[in-house]
């Protein structure tokens, strides 16, 4: 394997293990909480509490990475603390102790995504700049899948290993929990985070270049730009819609009478769709500029969550709805990474990725967890997905406004 390929393969292994851990936790934690006797409102409040960690933890990790240049060492530290925190779930049974362990786990693993994305973008930028480059226009450059110096095609080939890790994890663990019981949940979470920590030890540990940091514009100044503000608005509402999926989809299916193995398979359908997108995106992602992908993602999210609410009892309808994950998540995510790379270059890279996590997943997760818990308790789970469809409409409107603001910029 080439010198450029070796570091990228290690990032592929990192994504595999990280999202395998997510696949062990996110779909099945609500079912384990329910098995412990927690109410639906308690489960929703716990989901909101964990989302609160995404409001400030990623930015703190990103700030440390940008100012120290030690992003890989910080990734390793976050993974190690994640193992320790997850180990607490082996003995925790009451709500307070479970919440404490889960919050510590999410504070620690909040380092992995922003710091890894920033470090990976730097490698892809170096690779693409050394290759025969293509000129990029102010919308990112359509040729060769490269946007503002980042090779989005190669990014997809690395990032898809995260999806593979998730689908393997969620499918195997769904079968295991079906036959062995959900009590195995904390053991498997610890095992997944231990594997993640081991993989981080293989990452290239060269210190990132933070020279020129004093010339970087203030982050708030970047956020105030209309095209950036509307961009984050589109992320906020589209991901808020997806909170219904992350926090309540498994509980919704359980209430409808689906077996745990079926829950895992329906999650697997969505991730199989995103794998297909990540694998092939180098061939067609450049046919639309990133803002258009954001609009398609939001529009199809409306269809996806309305169908989930209206036809939840139909396995065929759910499979079709879950297949839209290729656009509502995968295409949206790549478009966001491209635009983050464009808006937050160089020494702002880590904080830009952290803001993506915070404004895109942290705050929407808090509101979605609390709001979804309230709706499911007062009405039903279908109401959560109808509300998600409304949020996606707002996401489309913001994405459209972001495109208009970007087009109004001087050439």
pLDDT of the chain, 411 residues: tens digit per residue: 444 555 778 888 998 999 899 888 887 888 888 888 888 778 877 877 777 787 778 778 877 877 777 888 899 999 999 999 999 999 988 898 999 999 999 999 888 887 887 777 776 665 544 444 433 333 333 334 444 455 666 777 787 888 788 878 878 888 888 888 888 899 999 999 999 999 999 887 665 555 444 455 677 777 788 888 999 999 999 999 998 887 788 888 888 888 877 887 888 788 788 888 888 776 777 778 889 999 999 999 999 999 999 998 899 999 999 999 999 998 898 888 888 878 777 667 777 777 887 777 777 877 887 788 888 888 888 899 999 999 999 999 999 999 898 887 775
- Whether residue 222 contacts residue 358, with contact meaning beta carbons closer than 8 Å, is answered with no
The number of angstroms, rounded, from the C-alpha of 29 to the middle of its chain's C-alpha atoms is: 17
For 2, 14, 155, 203, 381, the CA distances from 9, given in Å and listed in that order, are 10, 9, 11, 9, 40
Question: What pLDDT is stored for residue 279 in this prediction?
Answer: 80
3-state helix, strand, coil in the chain (%, to 5): 80, 0, 15
pLDDT value at residue 125: 63
Q: Nearest CA to 133 among 121, 114, 112, 148?
A: 148
Q: Which residues contact 161 (CB under 8 A, 6 or more apart)?
A: 12, 13, 15, 16
What's the rounded Cα separation, in Å, for the pair 368 and 388?
9
Residues 402 and 270 sit within 8 Å (Cβ to Cβ): no
Q: What angle do CA 26, 285, 160 make, to 5 degrees?
A: 35
Per-residue model confidence (pLDDT) at position 214 = 47
Tens digits of residue pLDDT in 347-395? 677 777 778 877 777 778 778 877 888 888 888 888 999 999 999 999 9
Q: Report the alpha-carbon distance of residue 346 to residue 66 in Å, rounded.
A: 9
First to last CA, the chain: 41
At 87 the pLDDT is 94
pLDDT at 282: 67
- Residue 297 has a pLDDT of 94
Full-model pTM:
0.72
Cβ–Cβ under 8 Å, residues 73 and 205 = yes
């Amino acid at each position: 394997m080439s010198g450029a390929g070796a570091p990228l393969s290690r990032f592929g292994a990192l994504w595999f293990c990280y999202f395998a851990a997510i696949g062990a936790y996110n779909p099945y934690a609500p079912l384990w909480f329910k098995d412990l006797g927690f109410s639906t409102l308690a489960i929703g409040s716990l989901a909101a509490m964990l989302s609160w960690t995404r409001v400030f933890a990623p930015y703190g990790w990103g700030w440390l990475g940008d100012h120290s240049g030690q992003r890989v060492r910080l990734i390793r530290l976050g993974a190690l603390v994640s193992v320790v925190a997850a180990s607490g779930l082996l003995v925790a049974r009451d709500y307070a102790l479970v919440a404490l362990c889960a919050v510590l786990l999410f504070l620690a693993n909040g380092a992995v995504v922003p710091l890894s994305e920033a470090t990976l973008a730097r490698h892809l930028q170096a690779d693409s700049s050394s290759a025969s480059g293509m000129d990029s226009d102010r919308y990112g450059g359509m040729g060769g899948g490269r946007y503002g110096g980042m090779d989005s095609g190669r990014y997809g080939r690395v990032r898809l290993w995260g999806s593979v890790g998730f689908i393997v994890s969620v499918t195997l663990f769904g079968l295991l929990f079906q036959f062995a019981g959900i009590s195995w949940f904390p053991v498997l979470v610890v095992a997944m985070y231990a594997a993640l920590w081991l993989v981080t030890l293989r990452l290239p540990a060269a210190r990132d270049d933070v020279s020129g940091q004093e010339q970087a514009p203030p982050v708030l100044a970047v956020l105030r730009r209309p095209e950036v503000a509307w961009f984050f608005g589109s992320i906020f509402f589209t991901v808020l819609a997806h909170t219904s999926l992350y926090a309540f989809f498994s509980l919704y299916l359980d209430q409808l009478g689906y077996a745990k193995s079926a829950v895992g398979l329906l999650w697997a359908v969505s991730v199989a769709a995103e794998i297909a997108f990540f694998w092939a995106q180098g061939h067609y992602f450049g046919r639309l500029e990133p803002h258009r992908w954001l609009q398609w993602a939001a529009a199809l999210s409306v269809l996806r969550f309305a169908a989930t609410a209206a036809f939840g009892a139909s396995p065929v309808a759910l499979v079709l709805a879950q297949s839209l994950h290729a656009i509502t998540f995968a295409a949206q995510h790549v478009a966001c990474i491209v635009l983050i790379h464009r808006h937050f270059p160089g020494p702002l890279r880590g904080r830009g990725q952290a803001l993506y996590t915070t404004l895109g997943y942290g705050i929407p997760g808090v509101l979605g967890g609390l709001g979804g818990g309230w709706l499911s308790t007062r009405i039903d789970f279908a109401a959560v997905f109808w509300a998600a469809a409304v949020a996606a409409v707002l996401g489309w409107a913001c994405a459209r406004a972001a495109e208009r603001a970007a087009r109004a910029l001087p050439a």
